[in-house]
Each structure stands twice: as C-alpha cells, then as structure tokens.
Amino acid sequence: MTEYKTIKDLGDLNGKVVMLRADLNVPVDENLKVTNTARIDRTVPTIKLLMEKGAKVVVISHFGRPEGKGDMRNSLSHIAKDLEKSLGKHVVFVDDCIGEKVENAVKNMKQDEVLLLENLRFYNEEKKGDEAFAKELVKVADVYVSDAFSTAHRAHASMVAAAKERPAAMGLLMEEEVNALSKGLNNPERPLMAVVGGSKVSTKLDLLNNLVKKVDKLVISGGMAHTFMKASGVDTVNEANSLVQMDMIETAKEIMATAKANGCEIILPKDVVVSKEFKADAEHKTVDLEHIPAEGWILMDVGAKTIASINAKLDECKTLVWNGPLGVFELKPFDKATNEVAAHAAELTQGGKLLTVAGGGDTVSALANAGVEKKFSYISTAGGAFLEWMEGKELPGVVVLKK
C-alpha cells in the first residue's frame, strides 16, 4: 500500500476539519427505512479513527438517483439516525452540501459529533466532475479522505477534483479494498483462479479479455458459459434451451485462443442441470452435455461432475477471484453448484490454503445465500468499481490518491 496516501500520511489531525467522502448509498424500503446497513457500518471505523485523532469529521455522500435536483426521497436525512446508531456519536444533518449553512454548521461543531451533509447529487456539477463545485465542497475542510471505493470508477467532483484541492488520503475501507484487490489480481500468489459468471458474454468482454492474460485458470459460468460451450463444439446447446449468444461465438473462440496463448486453462461445464420451467423447485434433471434436450428444457445450473472438477482445480490454487454465480442461484435448487463451490473455497480459506476475493452485486448475494460471506478473505461491496478493477482499468478515484 506504499504507493497510495493513507491517513498515516496526513500527520497531526488534532482540531482539523476532515471531509470524508463515504458511500452511504444504502438500500431503503418504501417507507425510506434502511434495509441493509453494511455500507454505513463499514465506513464507521474510519470516522472513529479520525475522531480519535482529534479531527472534526464532515461526511459527504451520494444517495439514490436524484439527477441534479433536490428531492426528499433521495435525501441523506433518512440515513442520519442509522449512521448515528452505528457510530455511537451524535450526527448533525445539514440540508445542503455547500454554502453558508455548511459553513455555519462546521463553525458550531462540537468535538464529539459528526456532520452529515446533504446528497452530493442534488447538484449536477457533482457527476460532471466540476472543479468549481469541488472547491466549494472542500471550502470548510483542512483535509480530504476518501472511503468510497465503490464510486472510484467515476471521475465525480467529490471523488477526484475535491481530492486535488486539499491534502488527501484513503480511509481504512478504501485502503482495505485496494489492498485486497491488489493481492487478488495485481500481485497474487499463484496458481490464480478466477470464477466469472453472468448471463451474457457481451457484458463481460473487457473482463474476460483481461483475465485470460492474468490468471492461470478461468471458470466461465452462468449463462455466458453457454456461448463458450457452443464455441467449443457442444452442439446440443441452442437458443431454445440456453442463453447462448450466436453472434458472440467467434468472439468466444478468440478469447479461448488468447487464453491458450497465455497459458490460461478455461474450465467449462462438464454436465448441466436442466429444468422444465424458470422457477424454484421446477421439474429438473442433471444431464451430460451430449444429452442436453433440444427444447422444452432450460439450462439452469451445472451438475455434480462440474462441481467436482472446479473444486479439484481450486485445491491446486493459492488465490481465487470471484465475480458471478455458477447458476440461477436465486431459485432453489439451482443454487447448488454456487453453494458447494463457495463452501469449498471458504473451507480452503479458513484453512489458510487459499486467498479469496469476491465482488459484484450478484456475487455478494450469491455468497450470502451460500452462507460464506464471512468466510472469504475479502468481499467487496463495490459493483462497477470492482468490475472495472478486474478489467484492468485505472480508477480515477484511486489514481488521484497515489503518492
């Protein structure tokens, strides 16, 4: 982590105002009650550390999609009580993020309280990366700290321009995230395996093209595996029984050729679970690839032979990076393959034999469903930023914090 500035690099913070860019974009129900506090809870250690160092902490974040106009449904006021509860300190909410109200609130801050400012995205200038808006934002601050890795792939004003206006550093969560991802993909212990799932090859081209040059073994799963199966000569896969993308067959062949040239072993299904209907507990059976029914059945998961094959390959590895489930995990029993491979990876992790890094919305849900979310080395809460990191792209909100 020596290449990035951390809180340790900021020196004495006693009496200083620190503007903390957090990600408090948490899910809420129709009554605007928070349904999952994970993002709030994960930024609390940074707030506590800054307060222990004597800093006055001003928290900024986006929330929902207000599209540049104030609207109460997307107000961060709904989050203040949950932040207060998780932090154990009084949180004062300010119904703007720039201007006189904010300046007065900072002047009147008590040492043991935190300010939470209104949604950054109430201003169009935030998403445009506007420098003048960033200057207004940090006007009240002495120091800037970013803990919002999940937004680091966006060059928004609060992520990039604001960091250039003040001494800046990563918060604990950002530091933890970048450290884990670097160990997982940039400087991994080998052999390195990646599991990539998703419904369409076309949505993960950049990811696949990057991974085949970096990993030793690549498990292609979910609906996107159907296109690779067809490209590798499994004629029983068709548009009636699978999510095969016929217009991506040649692309899949090119990716497989690149993998071969780079010594990357691609692992595809050996057997599949097919179902009569796309619903939970529908009639289903496990079949070898040559016996996939031409129509009337849908590919929903991979079978026992595939699970055993993936787990055997995992036993040979030191590092696993995971993005995407193996099957339709939302519908039982088609979560079986995801659950069993995840459980095996978790067991190896707990035994100190494997470093496991996972991320992406569906992946987090799938691993929670498998009951292993606390047994992996690191699970990222970031969606797009995690994916772009895996694609080998530089993230503006991380690059700006380089030493």
Q: Which two tokens stand for residue 298?
A: 């849908």
Laid out side by side, the sheet with 271-275 consists of 284-288, 271-275, 298-302
Single out the catalytic residue among 39, 217, 336, 375: 39
Single out the catalytic residue among 53, 384, 392, 393: 384
Beta strands 271-275 and 298-302 are antiparallel
Burial class of residue 182, CB neighbours in 10 A (0-12, 13-18, 19+): middle
Single out the catalytic residue among 70, 127, 253, 361: 361
The size of the chain, in residues, is 403
Q: Let me know if 39 is a catalytic residue.
A: yes
Q: Let me know if 361 is a catalytic residue.
A: yes
Q: Let me know if 384 is a catalytic residue.
A: yes
The sign of the CA dihedral 370, 371, 376, 379 is: positive
Contact between 403 and 170 under an 8 Å Cβ cutoff? The reply is no
Beta strands 355-359 and 319-323 are parallel
> 3-class DSSP state for residue 136?
helix
- CA nearest 189: which of 218, 216, 208? 216
| Cα distances (angstroms) measured from residue 196 to each of 249, 253, 326 | 17, 17, 8
Q: Let me know if 121 is a catalytic residue.
A: no
What would the DSSP string read from start to end of 33-78?
A: -BS--HHHHHHHHHHHHHHHTTPEEEEE---S--TTS--GGG-GGG
How many Å apart are CA 117 and CA 102, to the nearest integer?
A: 8
Contact between 160 and 104 under an 8 Å Cβ cutoff? The reply is no
Single out the catalytic residue among 200, 253, 305, 318: 200
What is the set of active-site residues? Answer: 39, 200, 361, 384
